[in-house]
Every structure is written in structure tokens, then in C-alpha cells.
């Protein structure tokens, strides 16, 4: 007589179909953790937790099959295995580019997947077929019914025992995780920590809970929650630099977001050639901030827009442009509208991508020149759409339209060509690719160079049209272009043995350049700053007071500005320290510092600001604020 989960002379005579499916998925998940995700393991206990964390979920989900009739159970097991594999594989593909895990809010953006075609295909590998071998094996078992696998009804007692085992394993896993990482479930911004301790599948369940919770926060919020945030903001407000305040009052603003451009390309070479020759010269007659960091989350370019125009942090999950586009904001475009400007965003992509057509209304934009405002053909397009040179060239006409209103204008440009997977027509390439084992990094340099050339042509055109000396020109990188998955190639390029977590943080620096009207002499400012500081910096240059604003950035020109920038994952940079992955580094040496107490005030400040910003967004708290006044002095 065959026995289930019992040993006869130390060999298994037979195994249930349910157990076979659980074991195969369990092993596959653990192998995926080790080969496809860069999950840091510090000790044997963490390794054990990583190993067991898929088990509870898999047993729980397949427990449903115990209550089905025998003939229906194989189909349930097969379909469930396919769905779980799809979730795991989806995370793997996403992780390859973003070194992050999927979230429910991110999946709400699925309507934009069609626009991501080239990027997604480039992330696929022929080896990915191995993810589905267990599914094929399971299908063969179900079809041919080998003797070592059985499918039989379970008694009520066996079901109870199975369910109790699921609960026991779940609490055992959670108990170990909480011991290893106290207050684990409050660290929702650290998805790697959650996956490492409770597993990919349980993380997604917890993420769904958070999505439901965040939906309820707005309904339950009231104006009293805003008072604490206001007190914090007021206490941290820094007076503007009197020499810079109003220095460009009434001037046009041309804000240029450079797609995927990191600061390491500035004043650097590849194959003996300058990567950004124009920008290298442009910063010599501009203010150049060489310790300026991007602070985006999963929303990437849209998050950078949100940061720059609201001086609020993005969310740790999904993109604010999607999840909270109906909120009340007091963004730069709206403020400038109230101060006599005409405002527009220019981007040669579909207006609904990143939900911009909806979100731009909330931000106060009067006009949006999307793809329908440009002549786009196969010849003048590559990768994600209209080439940058064509984009800037055709945009001149739109600037003239804004100029014709008789008002100063605020125009934001979002470039496209330097976007993963960094495709470029041969005739547009001015420099050769880098030579490494990373195609992404290799092709990155020619596309950065192309955007640099596009900027040069645009600036020259502004001069020809008489717009250059009557405008503030602000250029910034929106987010990283090379993810940590290409660290080996990046280390090769930078001449390092490896890229440490400290190096990874430093690589999050992006260009930030401010050229003032008629400015001839440049200045390098090394104050630690980030995208959250752009809004107050720009408004102060235009002579617009922000003292009553609810925002977390500080005018970078302010003499009292704190050297401090916090990232969405809780990492931060100061004048002396870099803190990331719960390790404090000496900024000068890059070496870890054992005593974290010296950075405790910064750790608390980083946590506080992220929490306050989240409260504002999730609760839509700015709808209760009637104190925002933006008056020119």
C-alpha cells in the first residue's frame, strides 16, 4: 500500500501531486533569489529565512486544492503554478532594469506597457525558458501519471493538519524575520528587506494590503493632520540668499529634463573622446551643482517631475502621477500662472503616458505640447520616439507661440533619445560604444553624446531667436541610466575593482545646471542637494517668496542650507556621510563607520521627511491648506 509523505527504508515511495508542485516552485523560487536578485545576505540565519520564506505562501495557496474533487485538483494545481511563475518571472524582468520589485500601484500603469516594447524585449534572455521547465514537468506528470506521484482525496483530519502546518510555518518565518529585522513591516520603502524576510509572494500580499490602506487614508484624513507637517516645514525653512533672490525676476524659464543622464559623464571621456563636450563648456558659464542627486522611486521620469515641481517626495510604491493625480497640489506651474507666466510642458510622447494629461492639469500647466504637436516620422525617430535634435528644433515654434502671449513663459522639455535600451541610428553616433560585457553601458555613451549635441543646437537656436539672454536655462538629469545590474561593467569603466553600496549612492548624482540671463562666468557649487530643492531655488531666483509653502526642499543658494539629501529608500547623503542599506560610510574614504550614533539625527530627519511627505500625498492634505501665498517681492 502506498504511503504519503512517509519513509520506507529511508526512501520516498510516493509523493502527492500537491507536494510535487509545492516543492518544485519552492526550489525554483530559492534559485531565482540567488541567481536573479541581488539580495544581500549577512549571516546564516538570513540565508535560512530566505530559503524557507516561499514555503508558507505556496502551501497556503495550494491548500485550496485539498478541498477540490480529485479530477479538478490537477487543473487547479497547473493553473496556480503558471500564475505563481508569472509573478516570479515578472519580478525578474523588472528587476533586471530597475533593481526593484513590482508593486500593485506599478501594475496599475499597465496601460503604458505597449510604449515600453523595445525596453522590455531588451530585458529578455533566451535562458528565461528555464523558468518554465517545472511547469512543463508538472504538465507531463499530470498527463502521464507516473507511479511515484499520486492524486488522492484528503480526509478532514489531513486538511486540518495541513492548514495548521501552514500557520505554524508562517509564524515561524515571521518570528525569525522580526528577530533578525525588528519592525520589519513598518519598513515598506525597503522592498528588498521585505522580500528577503517574508518572501516575494507574501510581499505582494502585503503590498496589496498597503494599496487598500492607502485608498482609505484620503477618505479618513482631515485638516488636523496637516498642522504637524506645517510645523516641521516652518521650523526647517531657510532664508534665501539676498544676492540671488529675484536675480531673474520676470525672465523666461526653460527647464530641460535629460533622460537617464548621470553625472559621471560630465567632464569624462570614453575611448579617448569627451562624452559631453557641450555641457562641459556650458557649465563654465553657468552655476553647476556637482553634488546634486536624483531622488526618484518607481515612477522614474514622472517622479523627477513630481519632485522638481512640488518639492515633495515621490511614493515608495508606484508613481504619484498615476495613484494620486486627483490630489490638490501647489506646484511651480500653478504658482507661476498666478505670477503672470504662461506655462507649458513639451514632450514628444503620447499625452497619456505616465498619465501626464491628467496630472498636468493638477500641477497647473496651461498647455501640453505632446506628440500630436510634432511632426514624427520613421526617419526622425528612434527608440522611444522623436529624436532629441528634431524635438528641440520643432519646439522653437512652440516657444514663439508662448512668447507671443506677451507674458514670460515657463517651458519644461523632456528628452527621449537617451532612454533604455539606448538605440541610435549609425548616422547619429559621434563616438564609439564602450567595450564591456554590458550592451546597455556600451550603448549609453553614444546616446548621451547625441543628447549633448542636441542641447548645443538648441542653445544656439535660442541665441538666434533672441531668447537666450532673456531666460533662465535649467538642465537636470531625471534619474539613473545604468542600474546596479551593470555594476561589473561600470566598475570596468571607472577603473574600480567593484562597485560598493557607497559607490552606488555616489553614482546617483545627476547634472544640475542653472544658467542665468547674461551670465558669462560659471561657478561650481558642491552643496549636497537634490531634485527636491529645485522648486524653492527656482522660485526664489524669480523673486517669489515660498515661506508659506509646504515643501521639503531648500533653496540651494541659501547660505543656511543643510548639506543633506534623502532618497526614497531611506538612504541619505550629507557633507560627511553616506548612509545606505543600514550602513554608514565616511564620505571622504568610502569606508564603513561602525558607530552610527553620529548620524542618528540625519537618520531621524530622513525618516521624518519621508513619512510627512507620504501623509500629504496619501491623505491629500494640501486640500485643507489655505495658507499658501506666493507673492513677488
Are residues 260 and 156 part of one domain? no
Question: Does 585 map to a domain?
Answer: yes
Separation in Å, CA 26 to CA 17, 22, 397, 410:
14, 6, 59, 54
Residue 108 has pLDDT above 80, yes or no: no
**Which DSSP category does 407 fall into?**
S
Q: Considering 166, 192, 217, which residue would you say is the last residue of a domain?
A: 217
pLDDT, tens only, 544-570: 999 999 999 999 999 999 999 999 999
∠ CA(206), CA(209), CA(215), 5° rounding?
A: 145
Is cis: bond before 421, omega within 30 of 0?
yes
Are the beta carbons of 557 and 240 closer than 8 angstroms?
yes
C-alpha–C-alpha distance, residues 462 and 626, integer Å: 39
Are residues 230 and 193 part of one domain? no
Are residues 202 and 260 part of one domain? no
If one compares 3 and 329, the residue with the highest pLDDT of the two is 329
Q: In what order do the strands lie in the sheet with 577-580?
A: 564-566, 572-574, 577-580, 583-586, 592-593
Residue 22 has pLDDT above 70, yes or no: yes
Are residues 248 and 209 part of one domain? no
Are residues 461 and 369 part of one domain? yes
Are the beta carbons of 514 and 527 closer than 8 angstroms?
no
Average pLDDT for 299-325: 92
C-alpha–C-alpha distance, residues 391 and 401, integer Å: 16
C-alpha–C-alpha distance, residues 66 and 20, integer Å: 14
Are residues 228 and 206 part of one domain? no
- DSSP characters over 254-302: EEEEETT--GGGTT-EETTEES-HHHHHHGGGSEEETTEE----TTHHH
Strand 409-414 versus strand 342-346 pairing type: parallel
C-alpha–C-alpha distance, residues 106 and 300, integer Å: 11
- DSSP characters over 505-557: HHTTB--EEEE-TT--S-EEE---EEGGGHHHHHHHHTTB--TT---S---TT
Three-state SS for 96-131 is HHHCCCCCHHHHCCHHHHHHHHHHHHHCCCHHHHHH
Q: Tell me which residue has cell 492524486.
A: 151
Cα atoms found within 13 Å of the Cα of residue 96, Cβ hemisphere only = 19
Are residues 250 and 103 part of one domain? no
Instruction: State the sign of the Cα–Cα–Cα–Cα dihedral 76, 79, 83, 85.
Output: positive
C-alpha–C-alpha distance, residues 518 and 496, integer Å: 41
Question: Does 630 map to a domain?
Answer: no
**Of 573, 366, 419, 396, which is closest to residue 471 (Cα–Cα)?**
396
pLDDT, tens only, 506-532: 999 999 999 999 999 999 999 999 999
Are residues 295 and 165 part of one domain? no
Confidence (pLDDT) at 358: 86
Q: Considering 217, 235, 257, which residue would you say is the last residue of a domain?
A: 217
Are residues 84 and 37 part of one domain? yes
C-alpha–C-alpha distance, residues 360 and 344, integer Å: 9
pLDDT, tens only, 201-239: 998 888 888 777 767 777 788 888 899 999 999 999 999
Question: Does 1 map to a domain?
Answer: no
Question: Does 633 map to a domain?
Answer: no
Q: Rounded to 5 degrees, what are φ and ψ at 433?
A: -65, 160
Confidence (pLDDT) at 630: 42
Are the beta carbons of 364 and 331 closer than 8 angstroms?
yes
Are the beta carbons of 582 and 589 closer than 8 angstroms?
no
Average pLDDT for 470-493: 96
Q: Considering 217, 240, 272, which residue would you say is the last residue of a domain?
A: 217
pLDDT, tens only, 576-628: 999 998 899 999 999 999 999 999 999 999 999 999 999 999 999 999 987 54
Are residues 370 and 434 part of one domain? yes
Are the beta carbons of 123 and 483 closer than 8 angstroms?
no
Are residues 158 and 127 part of one domain? yes
Question: Does 2 map to a domain?
Answer: no
Q: Rounded to 5 degrees, what are φ and ψ at 402?
A: -70, -40
Instruction: List, in sequence order, every residue forming a beta bridge with 149; answer none if it has no partner.
Output: 15
Are residues 466 and 484 part of one domain? yes
pTM listed for this prediction: 0.77
Count how many domains the chain has: 2
pLDDT, tens only, 354-401: 889 889 999 999 999 999 999 999 899 887 789 999 999 999 999 999
Average pLDDT for 43-55: 93
Please identify every residue annotated as catalytic: 301
Question: Does 629 map to a domain?
Answer: no
**Which DSSP category does 599 fall into?**
G
Are the beta carbons of 319 and 386 closer than 8 angstroms?
no
Domain CATH for 598? 3.40.720.10
C-alpha–C-alpha distance, residues 132 and 251, integer Å: 59
Confidence (pLDDT) at 508: 98
Confidence (pLDDT) at 189: 52
Residue 242 has pLDDT above 90, yes or no: yes
Domain range for 76 is: 7-217
Neighbours of 462 (CB within 10 A): 20
Question: Does 337 map to a domain?
Answer: yes
Question: Does 92 map to a domain?
Answer: yes
Are the beta carbons of 545 and 246 closer than 8 angstroms?
no
Amino acid at each position: 500500500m502506498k504511503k504519503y509523505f512517509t519513509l520506507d527504508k529511508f526512501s520516498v515511495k510516493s509523493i502527492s501531486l500537491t507536494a510535487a508542485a509545492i516543492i518544485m516552485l519552492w526550489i525554483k523560487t530559492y534559485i531565482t533569489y540567488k541567481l536573479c536578485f541581488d539580495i544581500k545576505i549577512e549571516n546564516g540565519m538570513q540565508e535560512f529565512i530566505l530559503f524557507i520564506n516561499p514555503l508558507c505562501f505556496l502551501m497556503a495557496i495550494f491548500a485550496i486544492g485539498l478541498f477540490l474533487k480529485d479530477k479538478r485538483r490537477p487543473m487547479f494545481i497547473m493553473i496556480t503554478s503558471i500564475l505563481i511563475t508569472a509573478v516570479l518571472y515578472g519580478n525578474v524582468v523588472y528587476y533586471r532594469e530597475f533593481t526593484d520589485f513590482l508593486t500593485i500601484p506599478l501594475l496599475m500603469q499597465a496601460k503604458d506597457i505597449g510604449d515600453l516594447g523595445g525596453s522590455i524585449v531588451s530585458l529578455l534572455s533566451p535562458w528565461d525558458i528555464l523558468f518554465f521547465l517545472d511547469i512543463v514537468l508538472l504538465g507531463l506528470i499530470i498527463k502521464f501519471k507516473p507511479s511515484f506521484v499520486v492524486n488522492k482525496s484528503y480526509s478532514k483530519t489531513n486538511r486540518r493538519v495541513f492548514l495548521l502546518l501552514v500557520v505554524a510555518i508562517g509564524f515561524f518565518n515571521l518570528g525569525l524575520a522580526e528577530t533578525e529585522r525588528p519592525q520589519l513591516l513598518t519598513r515598506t520603502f525597503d522592498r528588498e528587506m521585505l522580500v528577503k524576510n517574508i518572501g516575494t509572494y507574501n510581499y505582494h500580499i502585503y503590498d496589496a494590503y498597503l494599496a487598500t490602506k492607502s485608498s482609505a487614508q484620503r477618505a479618513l484624513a482631515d485638516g488636523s493632520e496637516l498642522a504637524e507637517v506645517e510645523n516641521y516645514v516652518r521650523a526647517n525653512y531657510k532664508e534665501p540668499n539676498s544676492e540671488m533672490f529675484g536675480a531673474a525676476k520676470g525672465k523666461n524659464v526653460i527647464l530641460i529634463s535629460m533622460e537617464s543622464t548621470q553625472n559621471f559623464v560630465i567632464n569624462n571621456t570614453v575611448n579617448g573622446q569627451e562624452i559631453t563636450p557641450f555641457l562641459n563648456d556650458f557649465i563654465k558659464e553657468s552655476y553647476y551643482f556637482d553634488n546634486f542627486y536624483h531622488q526618484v522611486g518607481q515612477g522614474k521620469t514622472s517622479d523627477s517631475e513630481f519632485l522638481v515641481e512640488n518639492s515633495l517626495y515621490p511614493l515608495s510604491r508606484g508613481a504619484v502621477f498615476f495613484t494620486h493625480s486627483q490630489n490638490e497640489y501647489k506646484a511651480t506651474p500653478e504658482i507661476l500662472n498666478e505670477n503672470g507666466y504662461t506655462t507649458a510642458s513639451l514632450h514628444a510622447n503620447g499625452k497619456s503616458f505616465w498619465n501626464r494629461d491628467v496630472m498636468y492639469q493638477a500641477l497647473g500647466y496651461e498647455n501640453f505640447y505632446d506628440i500630436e504637436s510634432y511632426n514624427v516620422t520613421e526617419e526622425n525617430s528612434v527608440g522611444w520616439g522623436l529624436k532629441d535634435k528634431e524635438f528641440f528644433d520643432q519646439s522653437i515654434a512652440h516657444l514663439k507661440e508662448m512668447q507671443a502671449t506677451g507674458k514670460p513663459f515657463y517651458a519644461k522639455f523632456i528628452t527621449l533619445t537617451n532612454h533604455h535600451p539606448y538605440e541610435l541610428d549609425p548616422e547619429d553616433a559621434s563616438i564609439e560604444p564602450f567595450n564591456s560585457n554590458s550592451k546597455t553601458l556600451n550603448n549609453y555613451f553614444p546616446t548621451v553624446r547625441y543628447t549633448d549635441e542636441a542641447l548645443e543646437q538648441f542653445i544656439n537656436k535660442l541665441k538666434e531667436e533672441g531668447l537666450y539672454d532673456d531666460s533662465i536655462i535649467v538642465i537636470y538629469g531625471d534619474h539613473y541610466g545604468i542600474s546596479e545590474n551593470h555594476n561589473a561593467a561600470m566598475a570596468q569603466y571607472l577603473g574600480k575593482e567593484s562597485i560598493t553600496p557607497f559607490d552606488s549612492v555616489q553614482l546617483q548624482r545627476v547634472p544640475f545646471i542653472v544658467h542665468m540671463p547674461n551670465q558669462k562666468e560659471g561657478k561650481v557649487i558642491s552643496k549636497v542637494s537634490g531634485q527636491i530643492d529645485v522648486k524653492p531655488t527656482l522660485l526664489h531666483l524669480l523673486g517669489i517668496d515660498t515661506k508659506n509653502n509646504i515643501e521639503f526642499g531648500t533653496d540651494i543658494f541659501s547660505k543656511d542650507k543643510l548639506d543633506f539629501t534623502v532618497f526614497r529608500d531611506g538612504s541619505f547623503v550629507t557633507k560627511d556621510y553616506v548612509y545606505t542599506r543600514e550602513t554608514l560610510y565616511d564620505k571622504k574614504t568610502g569606508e564603513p563607520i561602525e558607530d552610527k550614533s553620529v548620524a542618528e539625527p540625519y537618520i531621524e530627519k530622513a525618516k521624518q521627511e519621508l513619512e510627512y511627505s507620504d501623509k500629504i500625498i496619501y491623505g491629500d492634505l494640501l486640500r485643507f491648506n489655505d495658507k499658501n501665498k506666493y507673492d513677488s517681492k
